[in-house]
C-alpha cells in the first residue's frame, strides 16, 4: 500500500503510517497511491482523482469536505472521510479568543501602547450576561458553547439538523440572530449555506453584533459584511476563513475598520495536528480490518 501525504501534517505521522505500508510526500506519485491524505490546500476534484487509478481512500485531515468531490468518489468506489473530532478544541479556542479580544480591545490597546499612547479611558465591556448565537451546533460549536457557559453567557443556536441541545436554546435562523450580541459561525459549505450571512440576514440583527467566522468563508457574503461594518449594522467582524484563499488584494474586508483577520489557522495547533494524525491512523486501521482497502 502506498500512502501519499499531500499536505502539511505533524512530522511524526509518516513514522506512524509506515506500519501500514510505504509513505511518501512526493506528489508525482499520486498515480500509484492507494491512500491520499489532504488538508485544505489540495483540491481532490474530478481531475485530481482521475490521476490516481489505484486510489481507494481519501482522508481529509480536519472538518470541512468542500475540497473533496464526494459524489465522484462514491461513483469511483473511493472512500472519502474527514477527521471530524480532532479539530474541535483548536478551532473553538481560536473562535473564542477572537470573540473575547473584541470587547477587551486587545488589538487597539496593543497598537496604541506601541505608539506610546496610554488609552486608559477606553472602556472595556464584558462577555458575562451577553447573548451568544451559534450558527451550526456540531463538535466545534459545542466546544465554544462550553466555554461561553463558563463566562456566564446566554447561548442560543440554529442548526437545521439539531432540534435540541443541552448547551443552547435552539431557534429558527432569524430568531437566533435577532437579539444576539455575538454570533459565531460553524457551518459547512453547502448550497443552502452559500452566503448565508447576507444583507437580508444582517437586517434581522437588532443588537449590531460582533460576528466571528471560523467555519467556511463562502458562507459569508463579504460585500454585505463590508457594507454592514461601514453603516454600523454590525459592530465587528472576525474571520479566519475567506471566500477565496488566500484572499485577493481587493477583498472588501481589507478596506474596513473593526475587523480582525487571521490566515485560516484554526486547526493549526500543535496538539490538533497530533490528534489529526491519531485519527488518520485509526481510520486506515479500521478500513483495513473491514477489508475496504
| Residues 48, 69: Cα–Cα separation, whole Å | 10
**3/52 Cα distance (integer angstroms):** 12
Closest CA relative to residue 96, chosen from 191, 212, 11, 189: 212
Return the DSSP state at 56: -
Q: Give Rg (Cα) of the chain.
A: 21
Catalytic choice (245, 271, 282, 285): 245
192 is catalytic: no
Active site residue 216: yes
Catalytic-residue membership of 186: no
Cα–Cα nearest to 49, from 24, 71, 20, 25 = 71
Pairing of strands 57-60, 35-38: parallel
- Contact criterion met (CB below 8 Å) for 248 and 274: no
Catalytic residue among 147, 216, 222, 279: 216
The partner residues of 44 in beta bridges, in order of sequence, read: 68
Say how far apart CA 182 and CA 185 lie, in whole Å: 10
Annotated catalytic sites, by residue? 216, 245, 264
Amino acid at each position: 500500500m502506498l500512502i501519499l501525504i499531500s499536505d502539511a501534517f505533524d512530522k511524526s505521522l509518516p513514522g506512524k503510517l509506515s506500519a501500514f505500508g510505504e509513505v511518501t510526500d512526493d506528489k508525482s506519485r499520486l498515480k500509484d497511491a492507494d491512500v491520499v491524505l489532504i488538508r485544505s490546500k489540495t483540491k481532490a476534484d474530478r481531475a485530481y482523482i482521475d490521476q490516481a487509478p489505484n486510489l481507494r481512500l481519501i482522508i481529509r485531515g480536519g472538518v470541512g469536505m468542500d475540497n473533496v468531490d464526494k459524489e465522484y468518489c462514491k461513483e469511483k468506489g473511493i472512500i472519502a472521510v474527514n477527521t471530524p473530532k480532532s479539530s474541535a478544541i483548536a478551532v473553538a479556542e481560536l473562535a473564542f479568543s477572537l470573540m473575547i479580544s473584541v470587547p477587551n480591545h486587545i488589538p487597539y490597546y496593543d497598537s496604541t501602547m506601541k505608539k506610546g499612547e496610554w488609552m486608559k479611558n477606553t472602556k472595556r465591556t464584558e462577555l458575562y450576561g451577553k447573548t451568544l448565537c451559534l450558527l451550526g451546533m456540531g463538535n466545534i460549536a459545542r466546544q465554544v458553547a462550553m466555554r461561553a457557559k463558563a463566562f456566564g453567557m446566554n447561548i442560543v443556536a440554529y442548526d437545521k439538523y439539531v432540534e435540541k441541545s443541552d448547551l443552547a436554546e435552539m431557534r429558527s435562523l432569524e430568531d437566533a440572530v435577532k437579539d444576539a450580541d455575538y454570533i459565531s459561525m460553524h457551518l459547512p459549505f453547502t448550497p443552502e449555506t452559500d452566503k448565508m450571512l447576507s444583507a437580508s440576514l444582517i437586517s434581522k440583527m437588532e443588537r449590531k453584533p460582533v460576528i466571528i467566522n471560523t467555519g467556511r468563508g463562502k458562507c459569508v457574503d463579504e460585500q454585505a459584511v463590508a457594507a454592514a461594518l461601514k453603516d454600523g449594522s454590525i459592530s465587528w467582524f472576525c474571520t479566519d476563513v475567506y471566500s477565496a484563499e488566500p484572499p485577493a488584494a481587493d477583498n472588501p474586508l481589507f478596506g474596513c475598520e473593526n475587523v480582525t483577520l487571521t490566515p485560516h489557522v484554526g486547526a493549526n495547533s500543535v496538539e490538533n495536528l497530533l490528534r489529526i494524525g491519531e485519527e488518520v491512523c485509526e481510520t486506515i486501521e479500521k478500513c483495513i480490518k473491514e477489508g475496504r482497502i
